[in-house]
Amino acid sequence: MKFAVLVFPGSNCDHDCYHALKHVLGISVDFVWHGDRDLTRYDVVILPGGFSYGDYLRAGAIARFSDVMKGLDQHIRKGGYALGICNGFQILTEAGHLPGALIQNRSTKFICEDSYIKAQTGDSFVTSKCGVDDILKIPIAHKEGCFVADEDTLDQLDRENRVVFRYCDQEGNVSELANPNGSARNIAGIISESRRVAGMMPHPERVCEEELGGSHGLTIFQSVMEVFN
């Protein structure tokens, strides 16, 4: 089992992901620069958070055309796994690997705070170690995190059990009040039709050690590891 963490100009959560995977979980992981095309050695590709290409034009819009994204297309076509976190989620939607789009938060503000999210299904490579309705405390840090899609797409995501996380309050109530950014149907993370590509706005890599404020992020990475056990 080998992980790649992609590095775009402006990625800034790449080292956090690398640290959580390598030093906390003991996983074999490499950084892969955006100019490389070869991802054939990897089982799981992580697209980390940050501001790739300065978020110019739209968040994720320019990164989508990096050479490494051609390698990612091939990786996904061959059945490889990919997880986009925050800016990585934005890149995956821009690239068409995930439906919908991430637009500016309803409040117009950059939000950096703990969020509570509820696993919606155990049938995904990011939630297999979560119980359905498990509540995870995982921080968000974004200005463009409001998930939007047309009603048909939202219905399809629900029908196909492809919403993996929804924002909720500390008690697990999924409500407007617990929706930090205005995302449609409180969506915090989704998975592709193939169930091998996932995107989420919260940052699990930031909460993998109690010393850093929590360890709920581990559940997500341990779910990914479970695929290979």
Partner 1 sequence: MIARITVTLKPGVLDTQGRAVHDALKTLDQATIDGVRIGKYIEVKLDETDIMKARTAVKEMCDKILANPVIEDYSIEMDSEG
Tally DSSP H helices, then E strands, for the chain. Answer: 5, 11
Q: Which amino acid is at 77?
A: R
Tokens of 196: 């091998």
Residue 185 touches partner 1, criterion: CB under 8 A? no
Determine the Cα–Cα distance for residues 193 and 190; give it in Å rounded to an integer: 10
Question: Is 203 one of the annotated active-site residues of the chain?
Answer: yes
Number of Cα atoms under 13 Å in the Cβ half of residue 60: 28
Query: At its nearest, how many Å lie between partner 1 and the CB of residue 96?
Result: 9
Q: Residue 93 Cβ, how far from partner 1 at the closest point, in Å? A: 7
State how far the Cα of 177 lies from the Cα of 175, in Å rounded to an integer: 5
Pick the closer one to partner 1 by CB: 61 or 227.
61
Active site residue 205: yes
Point out the catalytic residue in the list 13, 34, 75, 86.
Answer: 86
Residue 222 in contact with residue 25, Cβ under 8 Å? yes
- Separation of alpha carbons 39 and 73, rounded Å: 10
What's the token pair of residue 8? 């775009």
Binding string, 16-55, against partner 1, x = CB under 8 A? Answer: ----------------------------------------
Q: Which residue, 6 or 103, has its beta carbon nearer to partner 1? A: 103
- Is 110 in contact with 72 (CB distance < 8 Å)? no
| 208 counts as catalytic | no
Q: Rounded to the nearest 5°, which phi and psi values hold at 88?
A: -65, -35
Taking CB under 8 A as the binding criterion, the range among 69-77, 98-106, 161-169, 191-199 that sits at the site for partner 1 is 98-106
Show contacts with partner 1 in window 124-163 (CB under 8 A): 146, 148-149
In whole angstroms, the minimum distance from the beta carbon of 82 to partner 1 comes to 19
Residue 93, interface with partner 1 (CB under 8 A)? Answer: yes
Asked whether position 182 contacts partner 1 by CB under 8 A, the answer is yes
Identify the DSSP state of 65.
Answer: G
Binding residue for partner 1, selected from 65, 110, 123, 226, defined by CB under 8 A: 65
Tokens of 214: 């929590």
Site stretch for partner 1 (CB under 8 A), options 92-100, 111-119, 123-131, 218-226: 92-100
Residues catalogued as catalytic: 86, 203, 205
